[in-house]
Chain A
Amino acid sequence: MRVKVWGCRGSVPTPGPETVTYGGNTACVEVVLDEDAALVLDAGTGIRALGFDLRQRGVRHIHLCLTHLHLDHLEGLRFFAPLWDDDVTVDVWGPPSQLLSLRQRIARYFSPPLFPIELRDVPARLSFHNVEQRPWAIGGAQIRADLVLHPGPTVGYRVELDGAALAYIPDHEPALGGALAERSPDWISGSSLAANVDLVVHDAHFSEDEYPRHVGWGHSSVADAVAFATASDARQLLLFHHEPRHSDHELERLEDRARELAGDRLQPPALAREGMVVELP
């Protein structure tokens, strides 16, 4: 399995000299499928560059799996080049809501005064689906979604392809369900998605010092990200959803801390970086 990071910043894009190494675009990750199709996780501003890349590669069928509809996971969609091509099919998956369909909720972003063009006028062939309660297939990949702890309906994804497994849980505060060290894995939000995966891409928004002032905001400290990956028996942790105020230098300090906490229980955790490609066995 080949996984490419197109955006890993949390909350808001942060272009500038302080973020050139790890990038300022918000959440978007691609799992590379065959030549004709693409699996995209989230539509933060990183999806804009991905769109041009997909167009160049001639990909005509795109499966977009959204974890939730907070803007940093959706704001790039309007500028996703394949959406403006009537020869492209886009299947959008996302968490269900009690009141509105996924299409209705996303249509809010494609309407005045937020945007001049209505969703119904998008040229691509668009379909919207609530995530299934059971695993389903996209291309050759098996996908599973499950609700995770984050404000509003939010899911994480598990993707299995070619014998490798990836968990993508970019916005997640499992510690809100109780201190992770005091919980068995079956009582930890998201643990079934990340169980024994080769790589878990996980929220590591805060430092340990910052987290206590932000309990309930839906994000994890680096320490909780490590504790989550360890409890789930994941082999490797990719630290994701970087806090907008964290410079490259500060992020590297958090990476050092994550490696210290992980010890030999995980492969050394790494910071997600725009443009990074991870090959899973």
Chain B
Amino acid sequence: MERRPQKHLVLILARELASNLATPTLIADAEGTLVFYNEAAEEVVGRPFAEAGEMPVDEWTTSFDPRTPAGEPLPAERRPVRIALDEQRSAHQAFRITSTDGSERDVAVTALPLFAHSEEFVGIVAIFWRE
């Protein structure tokens, strides 16, 4: 079986931090692949990471039908995770999602870019706040 490439050390440390946080947290790598979310996030999204597995973070986000509090679709370029990935800067946004169990939730997401060195972007961490 082919070995998957090792995650960057910063992502390994971020995962261990997230694993010990009660705050819903997800991690994506520099290519925009969702590589982990913690147990607290499972409550928000409605299924465990072990079941969901790695996937493009946009695919994952879109599956929750993110929209503004007024009910308008939230375009990808306004989603904090996309901003942190594309522009490599922090972003925060409140919006509404539909969890996999069908329930509607108001959440806010803060996404932060992760740099191992000043010019080495290795991914992002996003924290969900229940509104």
- Give A residues with C-beta under 8 Å from B: 96, 98, 133, 146-149, 176-178, 184-192, 195, 233
Contacts and interface: CB of A to CB of B under 8 A. Distances in A.
B120 A133 contact: yes
Nearest to A155: B9
Interface of B: 3-9, 12-13, 15-16, 19, 116-118, 120
A148 B4 CA distance: 17
25 contacts: A98-B117, A98-B118, A133-B120, A147-B8, A147-B116, A148-B9, A149-B9, A177-B12, A177-B15, A178-B15, A178-B16, A178-B19, A185-B4, A185-B6, A186-B3, A186-B4, A186-B6, A186-B7, A187-B15, A188-B6, A189-B6, A189-B12, A190-B6, A191-B6, A192-B5
A177 B6 contact: no
A203 to B, nearest CB: 15
B25 to A, nearest CB: 15
A192 B9 CA distance: 11
Scoring B4, B12, B15 by chain A CB atoms within 10 A of each residue's CB, the highest score goes to B12
B7 A187 contact: yes
A176 to B, nearest CB: 7
Contacts of B117: 96, 98
B21 to A, nearest CB: 14
Given A187-B15, A188-B6, A192-B5, 8 more contacts: A148-B9, A176-B16, A178-B16, A178-B19, A186-B6, A187-B6, A187-B7, A195-B3
Which DSSP category, helix, strand, loop or mixed, fits chain A's interface? loop
Nearest to A147: B9
B6 A149 contact: no
A177 B19 CA distance: 10
A185 B4 CA distance: 8
Contacts of B9: 146-149, 189
Which DSSP category, helix, strand, loop or mixed, fits chain B's interface? mixed
B6 A192 contact: yes
A185 B3 CA distance: 8
Contacts of A98: 117-118
A99 to B, nearest CB: 11
A134 B95 CA distance: 41
A222 B128 CA distance: 39
Contacts of B6: 146, 185-192, 195
A186 B11 CA distance: 11
Contacts of A190: 6
A169 B11 CA distance: 19
Contact of B13 (A149, A188, A195, A233): A149
Top-10 shortest CB links A-B: A192-B6, A186-B4, A177-B12, A147-B9, A191-B6, A177-B16, A186-B6, A178-B16, A189-B12, A189-B9
A184 B9 CA distance: 14
A184 B12 CA distance: 11
Contact of A188 (B5, B12, B118): B12
